[in-house]
Chains A and B, each alone.
Chain A
Amino acid sequence: MKKKLFFIMLLASVASFAFAQTPTAAELLARVDANEIFNTIEYDGEMIIEHQNRRFVKTFRGWGRGNADSFIEFTNPEDRGIRYLKTDGRLFVYSPDTERITLISGHMLRESMMGSDMSYEDTMDNASLASRYNPILLGPDILNGRPVWMLELNAKSRTESYPRRMLWIDQENGDLLRYELFALSGAKLKEYNLIRVEVIDGRRFPVEGEMRDLLRRGSRTTFIMRNVVLDRPIADSVFTQRNLRR
């Protein structure tokens, strides 16, 4: 009897140890959300679009404040002067060709941004994933030789652009190594793979990643961020329509 009791206690302690090592789905999602949080960001961006055997390189300068405000100005010769402003949940564009500011809305938000594999809507998501999705931990997995946690997210709202997401989170450092976005029908629409992370001010920050829009034949876009500066104060005037038109 004593032996049995000892065995049960041993089993219980091993199990509790194991469970203590496995984070919950909510904890993992909170960790992913936390990685995205910064007060401000400034960077030089590069977007390499490979589409139907052609390669297009676009460069831009970007500013961001939290998840709500961002400003991008394209600097490559072909697109020089095109500026985007995201503020108050709305996206504006300034086109030097027409010298006009226009609000991008409706179905246009679902279209490709500057020919990339990312849509305007993809850039508009302000709220954290935890507030928009119910996570389910599917368990451990190995991705490119690294141990990861697989997380499935199901949208709380029916209006979410991607009703289902799959996330692969590095077990060691919490990096979001890969995610896949699905339509309501279950069809996979897009996939993202993290390429490179830099430690900036003691924080791991994703600076290079690749997005593929699977509805576009032979297409992928690599986003590269250089000269990233985090949490340096940015003037309010940056995130204004006046700055778009300047």
Chain B
Amino acid sequence: MNNEQLGIENKYKQGGTATLIKIAYRNIWRNKRRTIFCFAAVGVAVFFIVVYSSMIEGMIKSINDTVQIYELGHVRVVSSTFEAEKEYLPVQYPVADGASWRELAASISNIPGVRHVFPRITTFASLQESTIKHAILWGINIADEMAANNFNLTDRSDGLIEGRWPAPGGNEIAIGRVFAHKSGMTIGDEIFLRTTSAHFSDRFWSPMITGIFSFDYIKIDEQYIIADFERLQRLLALGEGTQSLVIFADDEKQSASITAAVQNLLGNDNVVTEWSDNYWVAVMRMVMPLYTIIFLIFLIVASFLIINTVVMIIHERIKEIGMMGCLGMTRNEIVKVFFFESIFMAAFGAFAGVIVGGIVAGIFSEYPIRMGDLYGNTFAEMPMSQSIFLAFNFFILIRAWIMGVVVASLFTLIPSIKSAFVEPVEALRR
């Protein structure tokens, strides 16, 4: 016999699921303390997911920015011989066999999506009469590069903390904050250094320190000496050539197409590298699935509390289940009631976790965490700023909430189904 035959109004049937949801919602408040514990378990897990996701995305962004600004741009061009010997930072192997960098840059600039093309020289220097014996000379077009990018990723500034940048063509350099501190050098001091020219000869140079910078990137702040590109180009006898060309795109997503176009333009004697091919960028890309697994484990552990609660509820309400069955509720409907209770607990808990996690991520997206202070130089080899801004975006929050609800709900489905197998008469007899 169906409901019509029994004369039951369709009103009840029409609100079927809605009624079950209403019953489930009311049920979760029958034992507030237990429910709050369930909320807390899921909430804490989701909170950590939000904060850790934000931190990892912040680290990834910092690594991406560092690789792009200091190392590869969006696309970098070097000669294939340089690439083979790159650990020695030789200047003997210029791009396109020493062709004028201006002409190369003009050709590359015609490729759609190219915003800037900068020449760069990076080479080793030996220092005399200094506690620091070796440094890296970095020749860049200072004014142009500083206008294009924020070199201090924390303050979002050019990073100059004292003095001024070296004048074009001058016997002047800027040194990093840590370098200055370790060597005891300051503005106005001359620094005697030796480096190797494009003709594999010694070059001696005594530039004056005009500026001290802090990029909040330990590798640069500790080891780098910044000089005007053209001055270094002349010192190292590079002619019109350059050791590398760094290309910045309008959008980093255009890097692949620009890489292909530049490779086509310059031929196979030059190595064109996309920023995403950087070792650390690739490593972070690879570990992301691992972090997702860790997040799932957080949630599964938290779900155990809900599973336990649901099992307890079923035992507590065994007579009630029998009653519901006797009153005509199908097994499916009884399962739904318990399942909806689990979803409510997971959803509210996850929501609380998202709110608290979101507030924390929001705060630290404006005020960075000083990783350098926490870990010292442990991660000095990682191309990463010393300060990490947590990433704050709604995608992270929504993803964490959905993960929380879905995982917790799925795990509580099994104990919920158990309620369906309770025989009404048997249940009422207990």
Interface with A: B105-113, B125-133, B364-372, B403-411, which one? Answer: B125-133
Contact of B196 with A98 in the complex, beta carbons under 8 Å: no
A75 interface contact, C-beta 8 A: no
Question: B210-253 toward A: CB 8 Å interface, digit per residue (1/0)?
Answer: 00000000000000000000000011010000000000000000
**Residues 29-68 of A contacting B (Cβ, < 8 Å):** 49, 51-52, 54, 56, 58
Q: Is B393 an interface residue (CB 8 A)?
A: no
Asked if A174 is at the interface of the complex by the 8 Å CB criterion, the answer is no
B197 touches A93 (CB 8 A): no
Residue among B128, B201, B205, B206 making CB contact with A78, cutoff 8 Å: B201
CB neighbours of B128 from chain A (8 A): 102, 104-108
Q: Who on chain B is nearest to A104 by CB?
A: B128
Check A56 against B171 for contact (C-beta < 8 Å).
no
- Residues 169-221 (chain B) with a chain A CB within 8 angstroms: 171, 192, 194, 196-197, 199-206
**Cβ contact within 8 Å between A102 and B202:** no
Q: Does B92 contact A (CB under 8 A)?
A: yes
A108 touches B126 (CB 8 A): yes
Task: Note all chain B residues with C-beta closer than 8 A to A143.
Answer: none
Q: Give CA–CA (A82, B203) in the complex, Å.
A: 9
User: Is A98 a contact of B194 with CB atoms below 8 Å?
Assistant: no
> Are A95 and B205 CB-contacts (below 8 A) given A79-B199, A115-B200?
yes
Distance from B86 Cβ to chain A, minimum over Cβ atoms (Å): 12
- Cα separation A98 to B194 with both chains bound (whole Å): 12
Residues of B within 8 A of A93 (CB): 202, 204
CA A93 to CA B204, docked complex, whole Å? 8
Task: Determine how close the nearest CB of chain B comes to the CB of A217; give it in whole angstroms.
Answer: 9
Which of B201, B234, B235, B237 meets A114, CB within 8 Å? B201
Which residues does chain A contribute within 8 Å of B235, judged by CB atoms?
97
Q: Is B85 an interface residue (CB 8 A)?
A: yes
Interface majority SS (helix, strand, loop, mixed), chain B: loop
CA A82 – CA B194 in complex, angstroms?
13
Interface size on B, residues (CB 8 A): 22
Which of B126, B201, B203 has the largest number of chain A CB atoms within 10 A?
Answer: B201
**CB within 8 Å for A98 and B205 given contacts A54-B92, A107-B126, A108-B128:** yes
User: CA–CA, A80 to B95, complex, Å?
Assistant: 25
A197 at the interface (CB under 8 A from B): no
Q: Are A111 and B126 within 8 A (Cβ)? A: yes
A246: CB under 8 A from chain B? no
- Chain A residues near B237: list those with CB within 8 A: 78
Q: Which residue of B lies closest to A216 (CB)?
A: B88
**New A-B contacts (13) at CB < 8 Å, excluding given A58-B201, A108-B194:** A49-B200, A54-B92, A74-B201, A78-B237, A95-B203, A95-B205, A98-B206, A102-B192, A102-B204, A108-B126, A111-B126, A114-B202, A115-B201
Point out residues on B near A: beta carbons under 8 Å.
85, 92, 126, 128-129, 133, 171, 192, 194, 196-197, 199-206, 234-235, 237
Instruction: Give the B-binding residues of A (Cβ under 8 A).
Output: 49, 51-52, 54, 56, 58, 74, 78-79, 82, 93, 95, 97-98, 100, 102, 104-108, 111-115
